[in-house]
A and B are shown apart, each in its own frame.
Chain A
Amino acid sequence: MLTYSEKKFPKKINSLDAIFDFVEDFIADNQHLRMDSNAINFAVEEIFTNLVKYNTESKRDILIELEIIDSDLVTSLTDFNVSKFDITEVDEVDTTLGVEERKVGGLGLHLVNKFVDKLEYEYKNSNSKITLLKHLEKANV
């Protein structure tokens, strides 16, 4: 059982496969807890791709940390040497619109909020840190 794991990933979209492997390995190490890998991968992908697309001023690797604290999975992504961009302040999308009115894009953060219990942003020493918290249940294993 590993309750903390961290790894840095190149700031590129093609890092996603390695990120999914990292998340799946952590989940496999904690089978005593019920973790929805699709939901966790989804949240991590959306935040990671957001940093790749919009925080382009730094090419430094992004640090991903996974930690079990009590009955929560705490996932954080740290983007180093970038300007402040608080993703929690992004405008909500209108999901009631029909196909003609819909714009492509902007759904990622809306959906992340559906799959995690808390989303936090911290900016310190030119580093952006986004933390996702998800409550877990014990698995019947």
Chain B
Amino acid sequence: MFDIRINAEGNVELEGRFDASNADIAKELFDKIEKSCIVDFKHLKYISSAGLGELLSAQKRLMAKGETLKLINMSDHIRDVFNYAGFHRVFEM
């Protein structure tokens, strides 16, 4: 199960399992973001490189126009994945 939504504050909330089978769903939503916002990982249990790729694409597009994504509430496992990928250099988290 995976869900991605934009909450009332305009921030992104992720939930469940962000894997290669639902990367297209995430891309569709990330493509709509035009301003800096927070991505909340509180309810995300798992992410694979497919999920990392969608986040990196969005970050590259936003940073090119001076905007950024900030990632919050990561589990220890997900933080490990981001650190191993060197994404602590790419995102504020």
Point out residues on A near B: beta carbons under 8 Å. 13-14, 16-17, 20, 36, 38-39, 41-42, 45-46, 49, 95-100, 102, 104-105, 107-108, 110-111, 114
Contacts and interface: CB of A to CB of B under 8 A. Distances in A.
A17 B22 CA distance: 11
27 contacts: A16-B19, A16-B20, A16-B21, A38-B45, A38-B77, A41-B46, A42-B46, A42-B48, A46-B48, A95-B86, A96-B86, A97-B86, A98-B89, A98-B90, A99-B56, A99-B59, A99-B90, A104-B53, A104-B56, A107-B49, A107-B52, A107-B85, A108-B48, A110-B84, A111-B49, A111-B81, A114-B80
A6 B56 CA distance: 35
B17 A20 contact: yes
B3 to A, nearest CB: 15
Given A16-B19, A99-B63, A102-B60, A38 B89 contact: no
A129 B49 CA distance: 21
A41 B48 CA distance: 9
Interface string B30-53: 000000000000000110111011
B73 interface: no
Contacts, number: 65
Contacts of A95: 84-86
A107 B56 CA distance: 11
